[in-house]
Chains A and B, each alone.
Chain A
Amino acid sequence: MTPEFDELQTALIGGNHVRTAEMTQSFVTSGATPQDILEKGLLPAMQVVGRRFRDGEVFLPEVLVAARAMKSAMAVLEPLLAAAKYQSKGKVVLGTVKGDVHDIGKNLVGVMLRGAGFEVVDIGTGCAAEKFVDAVRKHQPHVLGLSALLTTTMTYMKTVIDTLRSSGMDVPVIVGGAPVNAEFAQQIGAAGTARTAGDAVELVHRLIPQA
């Protein structure tokens, strides 16, 4: 991590959303580019949180407050990125599958992807296969992300992929959620899975080569 962003990163990792937004603003005022603040400051800090969560060192409350701090920083940066015509690296549609109302993981991936410069369309929780098909038709994303927390709902991801393919849609699908692993992703015809939201961003980068 870059030393100049130490304090900002500490604020974000500690979940202090007021301080994170203030410091982001003061970096902007002192002339740092929004891209640098994001890529050298905020995103590496979120990756630290993701790794600590994966390793059982921190738990959901810490992740949720860090994500909130990230959002407060993004609220400062997004208008600047838009004004600078910071070009989107690609479009991703995200949703939690039918029968599952859990959205923490999906929201976190959304925050990280937006921070990394992707356009994200979040279609919510409890989404039936048809809703994913409609969203892909409407938004023409480069990648579709499916989320499920429960072992009883994750098999619905296969239903979604099968429905997409039978509708003639070949969009790469990535899948995520606590019980999801690489073997499962491969078995259901997904393009990949990731353990943390930071890893999900890397996966999307790999799937959209120009990004």
Chain B
Amino acid sequence: MISIHNLKDPSGPILFDGGFGAALQHRGLTSGTPPETWNIARPEEVRKLHAEFVAAGSAIIESNTFGANSCRWHASGERAPLGLVIHEACRLAASAADAKAVVAASTGPLGDVLEPYGELSREQGKHAFREQYSMLKSEGIRVLLIETMMSLDEALLALETAKEVGFDAVGVTMTFEPGPHGPRTAFGVAPAEAARRLSEAGANIVGSNCGSGFDTMRIVAAEFLEHAGVPVLIQPNAGIPVVGADGPMYPETPESFGEFLQELYETGVRLLGGCCGSGPEHIACAKAALRRHSVGGHRINI
């Protein structure tokens, strides 16, 4: 099993897992139902998906807790107590990790916009982050990932709160879309700015997840590598989904996804995983691709 020290100072590639919610939908979770509800309703499916990622080569797996913050959870009308949802999520991930993988917590934005642009006060936002992170910490989580952030204000508030709660490592990844002046988040944040500000604010890992396909992610990753003072984590979607009546279809195959992660590794990205549309087979292909290519004449041990 990799150590937290490896994560903060990786010498070779470290594989994370793929997109959890979209994979659960592929397995029967209906659209409109939060993926976290399956921690209680279908625990065997959640555990199985984690286990498949571990078997595919994920050294880090992420708990099914992305939307388990009080703002988002209660707005979606769910009644199950958050503490129970988070407890079950961590238990299932730890059971599937089976001492072969590290369990990191997946967390996301609050779903409301912070003042001054939105109605949510900093105090309310901080309270919601603190509640979720404290619950995760009390379940034994040592690595916290703050993902799919679009507002730098909110990302910095989440990071500050996570550091106060106290984890061995905190990672922050943001989501970018292509634009006329290069990739930006929906709030207009450029990758270079995100990399600098988040590194300076004490993130142990910075990078990007989700987003708009490989071409944009290639640019985003290069900017993070140039401007981040800490290891970079890149977790792309399996391409830009084409959404039909039956749900999203992701265009990248496990093979093309694996080749792309290998390409990112060659450019210097050490922490690699996937987001929406990437399942265990994508991670398995990434592992195979990383093994196949030797970089600088050295075989990669992964």
Contact = CB atoms under 8 A, between A and B. Distances in A.
Contacts, number: 94
Nearest to A97: B32
Interface string A68-109: 000000000000000000000000000001111110100000
Interface residues of B, number: 39
B32 A98 contact: yes
A158 B246 CA distance: 9
* Secondary structure dominating the interface of A: loop
Nearest to B72: A101
B245 A59 contact: no
Contact of A184 (B75, B77, B181, B244): B244
Interface in B188-236: 188
A155 B246 contact: yes
Interface string B137-167: 0000000000000110000000000000000
Contacts of A55: 180
A151 B244 contact: no
B245 A152 contact: no
B247 A179 contact: no
B99 interface: no
B243 A59 contact: no
Interface string B28-52: 0011111000000000000000000
Contact of A126 (B75, B184, B241, B243): B75
Interface string A9-34: 00000000000000000000000000
A65 interface: yes
A121 interface: no
Contact of B33 (A62, A64, A99): A99
A209 interface: no
Contact of B184 (A56, A99, A152, A188): A56
B22 A152 contact: yes
A179 B241 contact: yes
Nearest to B37: A99
For the complex of A and B, 4 pairs with smallest distance between CB atoms: A59-B188, A56-B179, A98-B32, A99-B32
Interface of B: 21-22, 25, 30-34, 71-72, 75-77, 111-113, 116-118, 150-151, 177-181, 184-188, 241, 243-248, 276
Interface of A: 55-62, 64-65, 97-102, 104, 125-126, 128, 151-156, 158-159, 179-180, 183-184, 187-188
